[in-house]
Amino acid sequence: MEQEFTGRVKALNDRQFNQSGKYIIYWMSHSHRANFNHSLEYAINLSNDNKKPLLVYFPITDKYKYSNARYYKFMLDGVLEAKKSIEERGIKFIIEKSDDIKQRVIEISKNAIALITDKAYLKYYRKLYSDIAKRLYIPFYEVESDVCVPVEIVSQKQEVYAFDIRKKIYDLLGSYLLELKPREPKIKSINLDFGIEEITLNSSLEILDILNIDKSVSLSPFIGGYSQAKRHLKEFIEKKLHKYKEYRSHPELDYHQT
């Protein structure tokens, strides 16, 4: 395994590759970005190794309790930006509305070689992954890309003090802060038909209109997505970082990163 993926990839079952499978699936569940996404790059590797196309799949549902337009809009901003970037690399990215994500992921995996998704930390998603892994006949891989050092590499026990875990992270940073170069997919899947009824809307507001979620909550003034995050970080570094130590306890002065 390439060094960039060491400690980040975990098999959730012990199934073998489906040699008659037609594609690799990357189920984008948490890492809603095209840049520095270990799950995506690992999926491209598997696609290239098996000489099969890659499908990036993002199911969206309105069945979660307390779902509201504010955080769905922010999430969809980032997902749509990621979709555009990934499709520019020749990879098919499908957004599908689903009433039962677990069942739908299992269904579309029947014709796949392997399934890749993002690391889950919350109990709900850990159980969801476990349930799916037991019902699949193909390998199911979880890839950790949202932290500098994989959690289970840092510690195998419940840590009590932030100081203790911080020191362990610092000791490992040099081994895990590695450049992740974008892979080139050998097979372009952008124009392939995967038999999935996808949402073709290109606006987060338009997608919100077809979802039965709480729309009484006002939308956030911030726009989601990688490019917006980079813009805010650049502004913080250039205009606020030099005063952060002095003003960090004064939120009214707006010296915190937004």
Residue 72 inside a domain? The answer is yes
Residue 40 inside a domain? The answer is yes
Claim to verify: residue 210 and residue 248 sit in the same structural domain: no
Claim to verify: residue 160 and residue 86 sit in the same structural domain: yes
Q: List strand residue ranges (DSSP E) for 169-254, in order.
A: none
Residue 196 inside a domain? The answer is no
What distance in Å separates the CA atoms of residue 238 and residue 180, rounded to the nearest whole number? 25
What distance in Å separates the CA atoms of residue 14 and residue 136, rounded to the nearest whole number? 10
Claim to verify: residue 205 and residue 255 sit in the same structural domain: no
pLDDT for res 258:
58
Residue 96 inside a domain? The answer is yes
Claim to verify: residue 29 and residue 77 sit in the same structural domain: yes
DSSP string covering 11-28, please? ESS-PPP-TT--EEEEE-
Q: How many other β-carbons are positioned within 10 Å of the β-carbon of residue 223?
A: 16
pLDDT for res 93:
98
Claim to verify: residue 119 and residue 231 sit in the same structural domain: no
> Which CATH number is 82's domain given?
3.40.50.620
What is the value of pTM for the model shown? 0.94
DSSP string covering 149-189, please? S-HHHH-SS----HHHHHHHHHHHHHHH----PPP--SS--
94 SS3 class: strand
DSSP state of 223: P
**How many structural domains comprise the chain?**
2
Instruction: Return the percent helix, strand and coil in the chain, to nearest 5.
Output: 40, 15, 45
Domain that holds residue 158: 3-146+154-178+201-217
Residue 98 inside a domain? The answer is yes
Residues forming a β-bridge with 93: 56
Claim to verify: residue 158 and residue 43 sit in the same structural domain: yes
Residues forming a β-bridge with 118: 143
What distance in Å separates the CA atoms of residue 154 and residue 129, rounded to the nearest whole number? 22
Q: How many other β-carbons are positioned within 10 Å of the β-carbon of residue 31?
A: 21
Low-confidence ranges of the chain (pLDDT < 50): none
pLDDT for res 248:
87
Claim to verify: residue 51 and residue 20 sit in the same structural domain: yes
Claim to verify: residue 109 and residue 58 sit in the same structural domain: yes
What distance in Å separates the CA atoms of residue 123 and residue 104, rounded to the nearest whole number? 20
Claim to verify: residue 30 and residue 80 sit in the same structural domain: yes
Q: List strand residue ranges (DSSP E) for the chain, in order.
A: 9-11, 23-27, 54-60, 92-97, 112-118, 140-143
The encoded tokens of residue 63 equal 């069945």
Q: What is the pLDDT of residues 200-211, one digit of tens each?
A: 999 999 999 999
